[in-house]
Chains A and B, each alone.
Chain A
Amino acid sequence: DAGVIQSPRHEVTEMGQEVTLRCKPISGHNSLFWYRQTMMRGLELLIYFNNNVPIDDSGMPEDRFSAKMPNASFSTLKIQPSEPRDSAVYFCASRGTSGRGSGELFFGEGSRLTVL
């Protein structure tokens, strides 16, 4: 199994540019999560999907952020326009159904975004 695959691994862009981060969850997993990690705020949940449907987007910072999951094998997180304070590592994670409580969350290697 290839695990959760994220791209790009690193992106450096200028303020005002559009950024699109991509994620391929583990095949068969029905939940997908987008997290953002910074030194100051730690890991913050931005949005998560169950069966491709957004369930909770209360963590999305503002309207500049949007996420989609058009099918079970692909999701995008878009920032438009980007700002320097968006610089962070963005993690995608997926989870399958579980028998006891919530199943294990598997993370991708993250996309490190730097906005100049």
Chain B
Amino acid sequence: RKEVEQDPGPFNVPEGATVAFNCTYSNSASQSFFWYRQDCRKEPKLLMSVYSSGNEDGRFTAQLNRASQYISLLIRDSKLSDSATYLCVVTGQGGKLIFGQGTELSVKP
């Protein structure tokens, strides 16, 4: 089993749609969680951290469920510019950051 698993993509949605990505992790001792965004042929960049109580940043909402070892990212009112690959990231043993395979999102006009 992979340490971090994400929804298989791609997700093709129209502008204005709400889309949710899910991610599960295997190490119950993981302490920190993040969502990164990667545009085509570019480097990954931090989108947002995920806090235990859940957190929101504009149109983006991240949730963490430690009991189920599950993280989610919700994007409301999706824009064309949201098209990218979204990577779930979890800390592993020793603080290393482990990336999921990524979920590709394509927002269409």
A residues apposed to B, CB below 8 Å: 31, 33, 35, 42-43, 45, 48, 50, 55-56, 91, 101-102, 104-105, 107-110
Among the stretches B11-19, B21-29, B72-80, B93-101, the one at the interface with A is B93-101
Q: Which of B93, B95, B100, B101 has the most CB of A within 10 A?
A: B95
Q: How many residues of B contact A (CB 8 A)?
A: 23
Given contacts A42-B102, A43-B87, contact A102 B97 (CB under 8 A): yes
Question: Using Cβ atoms and an 8 Å threshold, which residues of chain B touch A109?
Answer: 42-43
Q: Is the CB of B100 within 8 A of A42?
A: yes
- List 9 A-B pairs, minimum CB-CB distance, nearest first: A101-B32, A107-B43, A43-B99, A42-B101, A102-B32, A104-B46, A102-B91, A109-B43, A107-B44
Query: Nearest Cβ distance between residue B107 and chain A, in whole angstroms?
Result: 21
Q: How far is the CA of A107 from the CA of B96 in the complex (A)?
A: 14
Asked if B108 is at the interface (CB within 8 A of a chain A CB), the reply is no
- Residue of B whose beta carbon sits closest to that of A98: B32
Q: Is the CB of B31 within 8 A of A101?
A: yes
Q: Which of B34, B97, B101 contacts A45 (CB 8 A)?
A: B97
Asked if B45 is at the interface (CB within 8 A of a chain A CB), the reply is yes
Instruction: Compute the total of residue contacts between A and B using a CB distance below 8 Å.
Output: 48
Question: Using Cβ atoms and an 8 Å threshold, which residues of chain B touch A35?
Answer: 99
- Residue of B whose beta carbon sits closest to that of A103: B32
- Residue of B whose beta carbon sits closest to that of A42: B101
Q: Which of B42, B97, B101, B102 contacts A33 (CB 8 A)?
A: B97
Query: Nearest Cβ distance between residue A67 and chain B, in whole angstroms?
Result: 14
B28-52 near A? 1/0 per residue, CB < 8 Å? 0001101010000011111001000
Query: Nearest Cβ distance between residue A3 and chain B, in whole angstroms?
Result: 9
Q: How far is the CA of A91 from the CA of B42 in the complex (A)?
A: 10
Q: Which of A33, A42, A101, A110 contacts B43 (CB 8 A)?
A: A110
Q: Is the CB of B102 within 8 A of A105?
A: no
Given contacts A33-B97, A102-B97, A105-B97, contact A43 B44 (CB under 8 A): yes
Query: Nearest Cβ distance between residue A42 and chain B, in whole angstroms?
Result: 4
Q: How far is the CA of A56 from the CA of B95 in the complex (A)?
A: 10
